[in-house]
A and B are shown apart, each in its own frame.
Chain A
């Protein structure tokens, strides 16, 4: 298979840079809140919200909204499918890079 064709088989939903950053951050955490993702990714609030919604629609990310006192808090985590999808994406990317 050609390299370009192999690269085209990467999960496009994860491959988008902002979503890749969100998935990579959530992969190392049991769960994380919106503020943490906002600070670590450097995205705007609206942008992060829309990417989280896409990932939630795909079943990769679970989102729970709640309140701590009077402050709104959104906690996100990778679903088992999301964890598997990201692990597969990483393997694929590594194989494309020649295992480096």
Chain B
């Protein structure tokens, strides 16, 4: 007999399908590499140009994310993914979106309070960020049954532990983001190459 638990598994099928081609990882990874590289560049060789790039970086990332999410990704998926493995638009319940936003706000507030506190040592920031990134990636891996996300979480942990303490915070954070982003791009490309071996299917 079909159990309620099995039905729960089917409930994650559409969100898992969204990542079947590795394109969202490539998109997110490229943005992370860009972010990390500019931060590291500014930390290593500070100049007026690097300061300007680091200053407009948040705005640039939001704009790039919007363009990639709204224009590029749907078109790529329509050409590459849907003819091979089908199309499914995941459904996100409004209360879940609100819960995720709330959780993110609590995490950001906690981080801000920690940074503002007297006992804060800035040298711990890259390691703390690595831990948070790893927890988030491991959550995605478990929730959507995407084992390769555990590998990205492991990369974040290893990178966080390997960062020298004497490095400036900007450099540590930049290198961490760039390494995790590069791992995501590599994983996404590998997944995409595997998907491209699937022939285009036709409906009856």
- Per the bound structure, the CA–CA distance linking A17 and B10 in Å amounts to 13
Is B88 in contact with A27, judged by CB distance below 8 angstroms? no
Is A33 in contact with B87, judged by CB distance below 8 angstroms? yes
Give the residues in chain B near A46, CB-CB below 8 Å: 204
Known interface pairs A17-B2, A33-B82; A28-B10 also in contact (CB < 8 Å): yes
Nearest CB of A to B18, in Å: 10
Q: Is B70 an interface residue (CB 8 A)?
A: no
Is B14 in contact with A32, judged by CB distance below 8 angstroms? yes
Consensus secondary structure, chain A interface: helix
Among the listed A31, A72, A90, A100, which residue makes an inter-chain contact with B89, where contact means beta carbons less than 8 Å apart? A31
Q: Is B151 an interface residue (CB 8 A)?
A: no
Known interface pairs A28-B90, A40-B13, A72-B202; A35-B7 also in contact (CB < 8 Å): no
Q: Is A54 an interface residue (CB 8 A)?
A: no
Q: Is B99 an interface residue (CB 8 A)?
A: no
Nearest CB of B to A36, in Å: 3
Max chain B C-beta neighbours (<10 A), residue from A31, A32, A46, A93: A32
- Per the bound structure, the CA–CA distance linking A52 and B11 in Å amounts to 19
Q: How large is the interface on B (under 10, 10 to 19, 20 to 34, 35 or more residues)?
A: 20 to 34
Known interface pairs A25-B13, A28-B15; A90-B88 also in contact (CB < 8 Å): no
Number of interchain pairs (Cβ within 8 Å): 93
Q: Is A75 an interface residue (CB 8 A)?
A: yes
Is B89 in contact with A29, judged by CB distance below 8 angstroms? yes
Q: Is B117 an interface residue (CB 8 A)?
A: no
Is A20 in contact with B83, judged by CB distance below 8 angstroms? no
- Per the bound structure, the CA–CA distance linking A58 and B58 in Å amounts to 50
- Per the bound structure, the CA–CA distance linking A55 and B186 in Å amounts to 42
Give the residues in chain B near A43, CB-CB below 8 Å: none
Nearest CB of B to A19, in Å: 11
Nearest A residue (CB) for B5: A100
Is B86 in contact with A24, judged by CB distance below 8 angstroms? no
Q: Is B59 an interface residue (CB 8 A)?
A: no
Q: Which residues of B100-149 have CB atoms within 8 Å of chain A's CB atoms?
A: none
Among the listed B11, B83, B89, which residue makes an inter-chain contact with A32, where contact means beta carbons less than 8 Å apart? B89
Q: Which residues of B1-19 have CB atoms within 8 Å of chain A's CB atoms?
A: 2-5, 7, 10-15, 17
Known interface pairs A28-B10, A28-B13, A29-B14; A39-B85 also in contact (CB < 8 Å): yes
Nearest CB of B to A90, in Å: 6
18 further A-B pairs in the complex, CB-CB below 8 A; given A35-B82, A68-B78: A25-B88, A27-B11, A28-B14, A29-B88, A30-B89, A30-B91, A33-B88, A34-B203, A35-B85, A36-B87, A38-B86, A39-B85, A40-B13, A40-B17, A71-B200, A72-B203, A90-B4, A93-B3
Pairs A-B, 5 closest by C-beta atoms: A36-B86, A35-B86, A24-B10, A32-B88, A29-B14
A-B contact pairs, 8 of them (CB 8 A): A24-B10, A27-B91, A29-B89, A29-B90, A32-B14, A33-B88, A34-B203, A38-B86
